[in-house]
Amino acid sequence: MAKLKIKSGDTVKVIAGDHKGQEGKVQVVLIEKNKAIVEGVNMISKHEKPSASNPQGGIAKKEAPIHISNLALVDKDGNTTRVGYRMEGDNKVRFSKKSNEVI
């Protein structure tokens, strides 16, 4: 299983594909598929059958997974950056390769 450098809760920017330039917060990371669900990005229309909880049915908008390779982490200055790891004392921390600051 691959180690992914993006975690849920991170703010990311789409760097390739139909949704290039959009930003959002990662809700879920699907490690086994190398994909992430990003808030407000890659929206799809899902037809829903009427049920007890949704008697009307209809068309619902929801986020579809987007491949990790199409996402770049955004640091607190709003710039995209790559992620590195280093040891600070006994703790392993993630840091921004551009600004060299701990994420």
Neighbours of 41 (CB within 10 A): 23
Q: What is the pTM of this model?
A: 0.84
Going by CATH, does the domain composed of 11-47+59-96 fall within 2.30.30.30? yes
Query: Over the stretch 3-46, which tens digit does the pLDDT of each residue have?
Result: 899 999 999 999 999 999 999 999 999 999 999 999 999 999 99
Q: In this predicted model, what pLDDT tens digit does every residue of 72-93 receive, in sequence order?
A: 999 988 899 999 999 999 999 9
User: pLDDT-derived band of residue 103, with 50, 70 and 90 as boundaries?
Assistant: confident
List, in order, residues 6 or more apart from 86 with CB less than 8 Å away.
92, 93, 95
* Helices first, then strands: H and E counts in the chain: 0, 10
Domain range summary for the chain, segments of one domain joined by +: 11-47+59-96
